[in-house]
């Protein structure tokens, strides 16, 4: 599966005026949701190979990170994250093929929504009052 780059960080503007950002949350009925936090958790698990390290990187407890992983694993037909228990080589976690696909689809939807809404988002930004006094 082709790895997609993450969306641009809205705080990377050198002039200190971050671009508006779109935070996309997809609700699947009442029982399942995928949003920016879960997507970031999946990204960080893929990067670190660890649920604990991914949670730490997000200032999240292991219990909370594991709870979100369990929630996502239950929501989809196949688990998104596979965990291996400790032992001589130590434990770890990795995204399954389904996890990689879910994350890639979410990132594509996120980019498509941002591209489709770019003109209206820019128009909204132009209507904002000067917020420089709040810095």
| Strands in 53-133 per DSSP E | 81-84, 92-95
The residue-averaged pLDDT of 86-114 equals 90
What confidence category does residue 131 fall into, taking pLDDT thresholds of 50, 70 and 90?
low
* Fold observed for domain 27-127: Arc Repressor Mutant, subunit A (1.10.10)
Give the model confidence (pLDDT) of 26-57 as tens digits: 999 988 999 999 999 999 999 999 999 999 99
Angle at 58 between CA 7 and CA 55, to 5 degrees: 120
- Token readout for 75 is 């929501």
Contact 80, 96 (CB under 8 A): yes
pLDDT value of residue 134: 57
82 vs 79, 111, 134, CA distance in Å? 7, 27, 45
Write out the two tokens for 72.
Answer: 């996502």
pLDDT of residue 11: 42
Please tell me the predicted confidence (pLDDT) of residue 133. Answer: 59
According to the model, what pLDDT value does residue 31 have? 82
**Which residues, at least 6 apart from 57, have a Cβ–Cβ distance to it below 8 Å?**
44, 48
- Check residue 99 and give its pLDDT: 98
Instruction: Read off the tokens for 126.
Output: 């132009």
Write down the pLDDT at residue 10.
43
């Amino acid at each position: 599966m082709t790895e997609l780059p993450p969306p641009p960080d809205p705080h990377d503007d050198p002039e200190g005026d971050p671009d508006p950002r779109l935070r996309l949350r997809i609700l699947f009925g009442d029982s399942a949701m995928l949003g920016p936090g879960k997507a970031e958790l999946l990204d960080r698990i893929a990067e670190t190979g660890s649920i604990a390290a991914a949670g730490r990187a997000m200032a999240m407890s292991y219990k909370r990170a594991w709870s979100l992983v369990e929630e996502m694993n239950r929501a989809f037909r196949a688990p998104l994250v596979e965990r291996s228990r400790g032992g001589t080589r130590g434990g770890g976690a990795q995204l399954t093929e389904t996890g990689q696909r879910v994350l890639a689809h979410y990132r594509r939807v996120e980019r498509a929504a941002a591209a489709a809404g770019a003109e209206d988002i820019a128009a909204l930004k132009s209507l904002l009052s000067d917020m420089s006094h709040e810095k």
